[in-house]
Amino acid sequence: MGASGSKKTVETAMKHCTLWKADRSPACRAVMMALDAMNLSLNEVDVNMDKEQHKSSKLAMNSLQTLPILKDRQLILCDSHAINTYLVRRYCDSGRLLPKDPAGRSLIEQMLHYNSGVLYPKYRAAAYPILYDDCRYVMPQHVCEIESAYAELESMLVGRTWFGSCSWPMLSDICICATVSTLNVMVPIDKTRYPRLSSWLYRMSEEMFYLTANAKGLGEFSKIIDCGHVVEEEKDKDKENDGPRTSIKRRSFTKAQRSVVGVL
Ligand SMILES: N[C@@H](CCC(=O)N[C@@H](CS)C(=O)NCC(=O)O)C(=O)O
């Protein structure tokens, strides 16, 4: 069974929830992948980080000035890992993305802490000089740091297929995938040195939630890394009225676009 589920599952609409996100952000893509894996649909608002909209007074509910932000009635959460575990526990606690038993759950949480405390800072250190300063390439010390993370991940995959405790991708895989697929753009994973990690990323890239929630933002990020600076994006037709849209609309838009080019 994949995290996307083998059967067609019923879409759960959560009109009382809003997610503020930017597609190019790995933390936001982790939340979008989890939403798609659970077939949940909430209001999504695109925030243009290049125009510093995430620092505007409208988003003052997050004093850290980061994305993603989730609002569920009175509750405001500003960390992708906290958002994802909340969404699972509150709306889809079947054990598919997060095991119900304390031991299995702790193993997933351990990986979420690894993503948040180890991998994500490496992404930030390598990407921010390119995103926000005049740097045009990934600096050598950051390449070494990222390579050492690949070596750690490779050793974690000895004797297992996924970063979770089951035989399908779980929340740990989703969060790590958002970061590692982004690191892979900056420092390509060498298949011969990290065969397990590169196969794992390939398996993840075949999941439907990867296609609907990760691929597009990753493409945007790659463009920036390729030319060393932010390019003004062509406005998506789908985003022309800048208001919120639902996760289900985003998913069907991505699927429709991909079927036009014959990918799905
Ligand atoms: N630990 C946070 C990290 C959030 C974070 O740093 N988000 C980035 C985007 S990936 C951000 O908003 N950065 C602010 C900026 O680029 O100015 C999470 O997992 O949500």
For the chain, what is the domain count? 2
Q: Is residue 169 part of a domain?
A: yes
Q: Is residue 231 part of a domain?
A: no
Host domain of residue 131: 102-209
- For 23-32, the pLDDT digits (tens) are 999 999 999 9
Give the CATH number of the domain where residue 66 resides. Answer: 3.40.30.10
CB atoms within 10 A of CB 124: 13
pLDDT of residue 258: 65
- For 30-40, the pLDDT digits (tens) are 999 999 999 99
Per DSSP, 54 falls in state G
Same domain, 112 and 68: no
Same domain, 88 and 128: no
pLDDT of residue 5: 47
Ligand 1 pocket check for 80: Cβ under 6 Å:
yes
Ligand 1 centre from 78 Cα, in Å? Answer: 9
- Residue with the nearest Cα to atom 14 of ligand 1? 66
Give the CATH number of the domain where residue 173 resides. Answer: 1.20.1050.10
Q: Is residue 197 part of a domain?
A: yes
The side-by-side arrangement of strands in the sheet containing 245-246 is 75-77, 69-72, 12-21, 40-46, 245-246
pLDDT of residue 59: 87
Same domain, 137 and 90: no
The pLDDT of 187-201, averaged and rounded, is: 98
Ligand 1 pocket check for 251: Cβ under 6 Å:
no
Measured between alpha carbons, how far is 137 from 159 in angstroms, rounded to an integer?
35
Per DSSP, 189 falls in state -
Residue 165's pLDDT band, with cuts at 50, 70 and 90, is: confident
Percent of the chain past pLDDT 70, that is, above it, reads: 88
Does the pLDDT value for residue 229 go beyond 60? no
Q: Is residue 126 part of a domain?
A: yes
Same domain, 112 and 19: no
Does the pLDDT value for residue 74 go beyond 70? yes
